[in-house]
Amino acid sequence: MSQAASERQHVSVDHPTLGKVTGLQVEPTVTQFRGIKYATVNERFAECVIHEQKDIDATNWGPSCPQPADGFPNEQMFIQQGLPADSVPDDELNCLNLNITTPKGAAGSANPLPVLVFVHGGGLFVGADSWPHYDQAKLVALAASRGRPIVAVNLNYRLGAVGWLASPKEGLKGNFGANDVITAFEWIHKHISGFGGDPNNITALGNSAGSSIVTALLYQDKPLFKKIIPAGGTALLGPFADAKTQEEKFNALAGMLGIDATRKAFEKVSVEDLTQKTPMMYLGLGVDGDLFKEAQTSTLVAQKKESWCEEIFIGNNEHDASIMIMGLLGKLDKVSKQLPGYLKQALPEFADDIINTYKVSEDMSQAEALEAITSLATDVFAVATQKYLIGWPNEKRYFYRFAVPNPWDGPLKGFATHILEVAFLFQNYNHVLSEENRQIAEKLAESIIGFMYDVPPCKPWTENPEGREDLAFGSLRSGDARKEKILEIADKVGYEKLSGVMMGFYFGP
């Protein structure tokens, strides 16, 4: 059960730049500082600026960024296991806050600790640092118990149209959410040492859409983090929107709201209408000539460009694309009959290879259709992951595969579903996991903690499939040959085209 902040012991630290900062003792060995404002936003569609303050009450969650009201319930429904959550209000201009979780007494230590910065997922339209399955207290406690203490941070960034709407014609650059994350890293570099963290040893952990942000930041000029862990997503999955796509989405949203397609009209719409009366349309990252001067493409990321980021530990869940097919569950009979014809029309040269590799047919059972459709989309996910591994400029590249079946009742029970690894990593579901799965959750956490401490989680990834010894959580199903086939097709047809074809099928009419 969630324990009220007023019932927990308050703990204060004398921070060299922030003054007295008061947090909470949330575990016997863990202190948490909540809702620290890292940036200020003066108006809608304005870039944030780093926020400075003194003497901070960090005993309560900060406001969430505005989003659809069903965001958290839907995420819990997708995980198929709920957790109690505190009631946290939205606030458009005051939601850029972060939480810092430390071992007890870390502040002022002569030995600064590695820092883990988590950027949540949610399609860039839902998510908050106060959501209970993102709470880092148990992970920090586990790290301390293993003799490898860490400092952990999670943060909010602007979502939906507020964070990502763009229109070059209207002078609206978009990417506000990405700029928020950059500003958060700048704040962390400036202030984390006062909480016991090492600003020179930061690991960025992104999940799903959060992974798309942190991988996109790899091409910034200014170093932001030492290591990166993209979990279940990359910037290739979006993909980056060009000016034409941005204008189309801008005009479409204006039509849905019944307003003129102008920046001024969007500025006047209430934030409630902007978040509750528009669909969860993926606006996403886009080329803006400033923050992102060019699109991240499979060709770009495979070029082995030198990077200030030193190491990558990247991975996928065996059914990561489960997030994409949730909307198809009620019509599997229909879509299984449509898929062969769709592939033959969209990819005539490669359709037979795909159909044979994934055993796609019009007379598949619902279970067979779910497996085939999910596996195909997941393998397209995995191609993007491999592109980052192929293009990593040094040998410090590691790959994991999460294959633990979702243990909880629901339509995706038995599948290694999207975001399940995060549910395991932060140890917040251990009370409803079997002993075997608790051990896997701890092993996953230990591998990431070790990575932060310069302990390789496994052998470096190699482009030769026969020489790979990737890190596996759970029992892997057969499918490596299948994954190599889809990688081969992606190289021939182009990853962006293959991904676009699959997105068109899953999200089309």
3 state DSSP class of 37: strand
> Residue 147 — left, alpha, or beta (φ > 0 → left; ψ -120 to 50 → alpha)?
left
3-state helix, strand, coil in the chain (%, to 5): 40, 15, 40
- Can you read off the two tokens belonging to residue 398? 């590691």
pLDDT given for residue 468 in this prediction? 82
Strands 113-119 and 197-207: what pairing? parallel
Residue 458 CB neighbour total at 10 angstroms: 16
Of 171, 166, 160, give the one whose Cα is nearest residue 95. 160
CA-to-CA separations, 189 to 115, 197, 351, 487, in angstroms, rounded: 10, 9, 49, 38
What are the helix (H) ranges across 125-173? Answer: 137-145, 160-164
Spatial neighbors of 341 by CB under 8 A, at least 6 apart, are: none
| Eight-state DSSP code of residue 472 | E
CA-to-CA separations, 128 to 238, 293, 362, in angstroms, rounded: 20, 28, 41
Under a CB-based contact definition with an 8 Å cutoff, are residues 48 and 183 in contact?
yes
Angle among Cα 140, 146, 149 to the nearest 5 degrees reads 45
Under a CB-based contact definition with an 8 Å cutoff, are residues 54 and 19 in contact?
yes
Strands of 143-216 (E only): list them: 151-155, 197-207
Full-model pTM: 0.94
pLDDT given for residue 1 in this prediction? 37
Rounded to the nearest 10°, the torsion over CA 287, 288, 289, 295 is -10
pLDDT given for residue 464 in this prediction? 84
- Can you read off the two tokens belonging to residue 457? 């989680």
* Beta bridge partners of residue 446, listed in sequence order: none
What burial class does residue 13 get, using C-beta atoms within 10 Å of its C-beta: 0-12 exposed, 13-18 middle, 19+ buried? buried
Query: DSSP per residue over 221-267, as a string?
Result: SS---SEEEEES--GGGS--B-HHHHHHHHHHHHHHHTS-SSHHHHH
Of 406, 403, 447, give the one whose Cα is nearest residue 423. 406
pLDDT given for residue 470 in this prediction? 84
Under a CB-based contact definition with an 8 Å cutoff, are residues 181 and 98 in contact?
no
Under a CB-based contact definition with an 8 Å cutoff, are residues 384 and 371 in contact?
no
Each residue's pLDDT, cut to its tens digit, for the chain (509 residues) gives 345 555 789 999 999 999 999 999 999 999 999 999 999 999 999 999 999 999 999 999 999 999 999 999 999 999 999 999 999 999 999 999 999 999 999 998 889 999 999 999 999 999 999 999 999 999 999 999 999 999 999 999 999 999 999 999 999 999 999 999 999 999 999 999 999 999 999 999 999 999 999 999 999 999 999 999 999 999 998 778 999 999 999 999 999 999 999 999 999 999 999 998 887 777 889 999 999 999 989 989 988 888 899 999 999 999 888 877 666 766 667 777 888 889 999 999 999 999 999 888 888 887 787 788 888 888 888 899 999 999 999 999 999 999 999 999 998 899 999 999 999 999 999 999 999 999 999 999 999 999 999 999 999 999 887 778 889 999 876 556 787 888 899 989 989 999 888 877 776 65
- What are the chain's domains? 11-507 (3.40.50.1820)
